[in-house]
Structures are given as C-alpha cells and as structure tokens.
Amino acid sequence: MKQALIFWGGWDGHDPQPGAGIVAAMLRDEGFVVRVEEGTQVLAETDPAAFDLIVPIVTMSKIETAELAALVAAVESGTGLAGYHGGMGDSFRDAPEYQFMTGGQWVAHPGNVIDYTVEVIRGDDPIMAGLPASFPYHSEQYYLHTDPSNEVLAVTRFNGEHADWIDGVVMPVVWKRRHGKGRVFYSALGHRATEFEVPEMATILRRGMLWAAR
C-alpha cells in the first residue's frame, strides 16, 4: 500500500489545513495510507524517502537546512512530489534548491482574484485526458518564474488589463517534470479550499498526484 505525507502550514489565506484534509481524503480514496503533519519538522524527524508521495501545502514560510536537504534527497531517490497553487509554488522564497526541484516560483497575481481561462495544451496526456480544451476559472491568475525543462500540460494567457506590459504572455498553469529519480507535479489552481469544488481543478490535482507517486 502506498504511503503519502502531507505537511501544511504558512499563510492562512490559502486554507492550508482545510486543503490538507481534502487532499488526504482524495489520497485515501485512492488507497494511500496518509500521514498529515503541521509544519516542516516532520521532514527531519522521519525519513521522507520512506513515502511514495509528498504533498507540501505551505505558503510563504521557512524551511530549515536539514529539512530541505531531506526532502530533496527523498525526491532525488524516487519519492514523488505534488502540489498546488501557493502551497507548493510559493512555499519557501529563500530556498532556491526547493524551487529548482519544483520547477517554478510564484512572483505575482495581477488583479488578484479574477476571471481567466485555462487552456489545455496536452489533451493527450493521461492527467488531462477528457478535460475540455479550455475552461473558465475564477481565482488568482498566477504569474510564475518557471523552468524551461517543465513538461507543460496547461497554460493561461494574460490580457494586460491589470499589467499592460504582460499583455499576451502565455504562462504555464499545470506541469510535470523529473527531479533525479522522482516525479514532480504542479498545478497553479487552488487559491482557496472551495476551489476543490471545481471539477477540473480537483481532477487535475488528483491525477497529478497519482502520476507523481512512486
């Protein structure tokens, strides 16, 4: 039976604890044994490499050197890493080794919570199979610094309404990648826990976590 670790914390505005509960239920429904912990200390107190999947749900926080080293080593050895929105894409701003592993870092969300469109560009990928070619979304439209080695599955286009100099920019929303022997999955969707009620958001994350798991 696969083992998953969820650790949550940081800024409350991203509903980290409710999100952790929803993700834990998803994974248990898929047959995982799930451990949920508050904070990053679990990464130093256990062996993260013993888990098949790790899901960080932590925004704008800090991670100790030993904790980060253990997490990176686990992923490089084959543990999967998956997450969403700021819980994985804006976790530790002063930890470039973490950002190298995840494949991106949040830098802005012009206009804050707005209506925008998500475009699926890899409908042939199992994570995106059967989803609409595009779908409307109401949330923060993330502007990210991303790794060119990411395998991008969905994008969004900025229209310049809230920052005219980025008009027409096409930005990755969903991607997968490798880091060492580990699979890494990220979705920028999911500002608040209520967004799990959007079928496309929940489906993408569920499938992405299953893909990432060892």
Mean pLDDT of 147-170: 98
How many helices (H) and strands (E) are present in the chain, helices listed first?
Answer: 6, 11
- Would you state the pLDDT for residue 203? 98
CA 95, 98, 103, 106 torsion-angle sign: negative
Pairing of strands 143-146, 182-187: unpaired
What mean pLDDT is reported for the chain?
98
- Would you state the pLDDT for residue 212? 99
The rounded Cα 148 to chain-centroid distance in angstroms is 17
pTM above 0.75? yes
List residues bridging with 154 in a β-sheet.
Answer: 120, 174
| Cα–Cα distance for residue pair 47/28, rounded to 1 Å | 21
DSSP 111: T
- Going by pLDDT thresholds of 50, 70 and 90, the confidence category of residue 162 is very high
Mean pLDDT of 179-208: 98
- Would you state the pLDDT for residue 19? 98
- Would you state the pLDDT for residue 156? 98
- Would you state the pLDDT for residue 48? 98
- Would you state the pLDDT for residue 168? 98
- Would you state the pLDDT for residue 128? 98
Going from the C-alpha of 90 to that of each of 28, 142, 189, the distances in angstroms are 26, 11, 13
Share of the chain above pLDDT 90, in %: 100
The rounded Cα 89 to chain-centroid distance in angstroms is 6
Nearest Cα neighbor of 57 from 80, 27, 36 is 36
pLDDT digits 0-9 by tens, 44-92: 999 999 999 999 999 999 999 999 999 999 999 999 999 999 999 999 9
Helix axes 199-212, 16-29, angle to 10 degrees: 70
Q: Which domains does the chain have, with CATH numbers?
A: 3-212 (3.40.50.880)
